[in-house]
Amino acid sequence: MNMTLEPPPVVSARGVRVAFGAVKALDGVDLDILPGEALGLVGHNGAGKSTIVNVINGGLTPHEGRLAYGGQESVAGGVGSARAGGVRCVFQELSLCPNLTIVENTRLMHRGLTGFGWRKRALALISQTLGDIFPGHRIDCTGTVGDLSIAERQMVEIAINFMTVTEAPRLVILDEPTSSLDAALAEQLMAHVRRFVGAGGSVLLISHILGEILSTSTRIVVMKDGKVVVTKPVAGFTAKSLVEAMGSVIKEKGHAAARAVAGDAPEVINLPASRGSVCGFSARKGEIIGLAGLGGHGQTDTLLSLYRARSSNWWPKRPEDIAFVAGDRSLNGTFPLWSILRNLSIGDLGALSSRFAIDHGREEALGEDWKAKTAIRTPDMHNPILSLSGGNQQKVLFARALSTPAAIVLMDDPMRGVDIGTKQDVYAIIRAEAEAGRTFVWYSTEMDEICLCDRVYVFRDGAIVAELKGEEISEDHVLAASFSGEAA
């Protein structure tokens, strides 16, 4: 080890500019990532985080500026030179092929796995890496990716990127890696990141969960409107100062305990206990019900079957009863060919129509109304939905459900990838709507959100294992209930 020479940065970006039409996604960004450093990258939705990631991993050629990997100027650009520079990227939208097995997906990322017996070698490697990062995982590496839950897919994708076949990764980019992982898995991942960085690797970590950023990064970069606004070692930040640097102020967290739902409010959902559950599932008018537990333990299925039972697949019906907010946007949320406005208005076209004909004036008005209410970042609601960043697409899905008269709103972990400012706004809307008599059923992998609920059902293996009310709702109780059946 030559300590006298300053090692060159793994990646160095200078004056990078990227524009999508009129929107300046990156406006002159300088960024260095040094070996042995975990760089935390934070900022609002649309601040340019995902764009700089795509520039670094070679997926996007900057319109201006230079890029160097390990001190070598990247001339050709593109994914090839990024990979040659040891850059690996775990995408926010998962990028595994669902029809292939985990081993086969490994081969896609690692060309070095060739010749006779590559499956065997790949299986050994991926099993070992998965075990290193997520000890005690229960993933069968010979199975197809399509059979995995979204959390397990995320785990596999992370493991594939940390794997060493012919050469070790020098920089691993993690874009919202814990968005679908529960607290225990997220902690395992963060521990692995610290080990990896300690051994001289580099990590670029993007997360909306500030606790992770503060506990794991060595240096933090704050982005805002396509620019880097602050770069400081982690010691210079507290959660509060970090949020202030991003440009939003944490609003006072009002605990749900302040809200008392009248015990005699009519029940809008009442299901008997399913097999293995300790109690039935019920919800009163105006209640916010949380679905907690480790990721992928039947919460989403519960929401889907609730929705299916209360909406017709054959007969048109105004959504007066129930509405759904997707968490997995590309699976059951957005309509990719459509504009933002059409994606919003599809929730309740009946309200915008007379005699089955859609009134375009009323549709426009609805769009402007919700654009203002949820601060959707776009110059024009007629732009394609895919022109929005992930968090802004999520706002559109929220607006779709909240603009209906539905008495019950189901939410399938909808805050994935949404920035803190917007989250606070949406929480406020949810509380106001609940006061007005709407019922929310909210599956969330984030503890802060579970704590906003009036009542919480904890799920394990598809069954309800605990019901928590008011003061009982806390991280400890939820975790205790989630693991309670472990010994049985």
Partner 1 sequence: MNALKPVLSKPWIWSWLAAALTFAATALFTGGSSAFGLSQATLTFAAFSVMVGLGQMLVITLGPGNVDLSVPATITLSGTLALKFMETESSLILPGLLVAIVIGLAVGMANYALIKLLRIPPIIATLSMSFLVQSLAIWSNRGLRIKPPEALATFTTGTVFGVPNIALAGLLLSFVIWWLLERSIYGRWISAIGQSPFAARMAGIPVDGTRFVTYVLCAVLAAICGYLLASFSGGAALNMGTEYLLMSIAVVVIGGCAVAGGNSNVPGIWGASLFMFLVVSMLNTYGFGAGIRLMLTGLIIIAVIVAASRPLNGRK
List interacting residues with partner 1 (CB under 8 A).
Answer: 304, 307-308, 311-317, 319, 322-324, 326, 331-338, 342, 346-350, 353, 356-358, 400, 404
In whole angstroms, give the CA distance from residue 101 to residue 453: 39
Which of 429, 435, 436, 479 is CA-nearest to residue 454?
A: 435
User: Please, which residue, 277 or 300, has the CB nearer to partner 1?
Assistant: 300
User: Please, which residue, 140 or 320, has the CB nearer to partner 1?
Assistant: 320
Q: H or E element: which one contains 369?
A: helix 360-374
Residue 324: CB minimum distance to partner 1, A: 5
Residue 171: CB minimum distance to partner 1, A: 29
Residue 452: CB minimum distance to partner 1, A: 23
Residue type present at position 124: A
User: Please, which residue, 95 or 387, has the CB nearer to partner 1?
Assistant: 387
User: φ and ψ at 204, to 5 degrees?
Assistant: -110, 115
In whole angstroms, give the CA distance from residue 281 to residue 270: 6
Residue 311: CB minimum distance to partner 1, A: 6
Tokens 């609730």 — which residue? 306
User: Please, which residue, 195 or 317, has the CB nearer to partner 1?
Assistant: 317
Residue 76: CB minimum distance to partner 1, A: 23
Residue 244: CB minimum distance to partner 1, A: 37
User: Please, which residue, 9 or 333, has the CB nearer to partner 1?
Assistant: 333
Residue 58: CB minimum distance to partner 1, A: 19
Contact predicate 47/226, CB 8 Å: yes
Burial of 36 (0-12, 13-18, 19+ CB in 10 A): middle
Residue 363: other Cβ atoms inside 10 A: 18
User: Please, which residue, 216 or 334, has the CB nearer to partner 1?
Assistant: 334
Contact predicate 52/135, CB 8 Å: no
> What residues contact 195, with CB distance under 8 A and at least 6 apart?
none
Which of 258, 226, 264 is CA-nearest to residue 45?
A: 226
User: Please, which residue, 83 or 400, has the CB nearer to partner 1?
Assistant: 400
